[in-house]
Amino acid sequence: MDKRVASMEEAVRDIADGSLLVVGGFGLCGIPEGLIRALQTQGTKGLTVVSNNCGVDDAGLGLLLAGRQIRRMVSSYVGENKTFERQVLSGELELELVPQGTLAERIRAGGAGIPGFYTPTGVGTVVAEGKEHKSFDGRTFVLERGIVGDFALVKAWKADTLGNLVYRRTSRNFNPLAAAAGRITIAEAEIIVEAGELDPDEIHTPGIYVQRVVQGTAEGKRIERRTVRAKEGTA
C-alpha cells in the first residue's frame, strides 16, 4: 500500500498526449510545481486542463502554455498571464470560462460521482448558452456537468505513505476538490511520513482518493502582482 514513487518524472510518465488534467491551486498558491515542470520536460501535448487559472508566464501552468502543451483550458480567471491572453485571442488555445463557484462545484460533483447539477449562476448570459434549463419553484436554473479528469495533480504540505494528505492554510483552496476528481491522482508533498504518523483529525484528503505520492520541496512564495503604496508626504 506504499504509494510513494521515486521521482516527479516517474509520477507523470503515463500522462499521455490529449489527457484531461484537473490541477489544484489558486493563482500561484498551492500549485504542484514539481509535477508541472516534469510534464514540461516530458513534452506531453494536446492537454485539456481544468484549473482555476493558468499561473503566470514563467511559473505554474504558464510553463505548459509557453511550450504550447495545453490545447484547452477550463478555468475561471485569465489572471496575470499574457501568454494565456495571447493564445486565446489568436485562436491557438480553446478556453471555457466558468464562474468560480460553478467550477468548484463541477469538480466536487465529479469527485462525488454526481454527473450533473442545476445552478442559477449564469442564467441569461453566454455561460448558459446551449445548456439545458429547468425551472424550480418559479426560478430558472441551468444544468452543469461534473468534471472527472484522467489525472489530477495536487500539492500537499504533508502526506503519508498511504496517500492521506494535509494542506497548509490557503494552499488548501482547490486541492481537496481536485484530488477527489481524478481517475488517477498524483500528490506532490513537501513532507512524507510513515502510515499512522498523521493525526486522523488533520487529514483533508483520505488516501483512498490518491494513487501516487512524490516528494516535493517547499517552493518560494511568489507574488502574482506586487503593488507598492507610497508613504504620505512622498512624491
Tens of pLDDT, residue by residue over 160-181, are 999 999 999 999 999 999 999 9
Would the pTM of this model clear 0.85, i.e. be above it? yes
Please report whether residue 18 resides in a domain: yes
| pLDDT value for 219 | 66
Q: How many structural domains are present in the chain?
A: 1
Whether the pLDDT of residue 235 is over 60: the answer is no
Asked whether the predicted pLDDT for residue 39 surpasses 60, the reply is yes
Residues 6+ apart with CB under 8 A from 88: 78, 95
Residue 95 confidence (pLDDT) = 93
Flag whether 2 is in a domain. no
Domain presence at residue 94: yes
CA distance 149 to 179: 10
97 located within any domain: yes
Indicate the pLDDT class of residue 125, thresholds 50, 70 and 90. very high
Within a domain: 139: no
Asked if 126 and 87 touch (Cβ cutoff 8 Å), the reply is no
| Residue owning grid cell 514540461 | 40
Does residue 224 belong to any structural domain of this protein?
Answer: no
Minimal CA–CA distance to 183: which of 140, 153, 222, 161?
A: 153
Please check whether residue 131 is in contact with residue 143, taking contact to mean a CB–CB distance below 8 angstroms. yes
Among residues 17, 175, 75, which one has the least CA distance to residue 84?
75
Q: Is residue 126 part of a domain?
A: no
Residues facing residue 183 across a β-bridge: none
Q: Where residue 110 sits, what CATH number does that domain have?
A: 3.40.1080.10
The reported pLDDT for the residue numbered 53 is: 87
The average pLDDT across 76-99 equals: 88
In a domain, 235, yes or no: no
Residue range(s) defining the domain that contains residue 14: 8-116+147-215
* Average model confidence (pLDDT) across the chain: 92
pLDDT bin (cut points 50, 70, 90) of residue 58 is confident
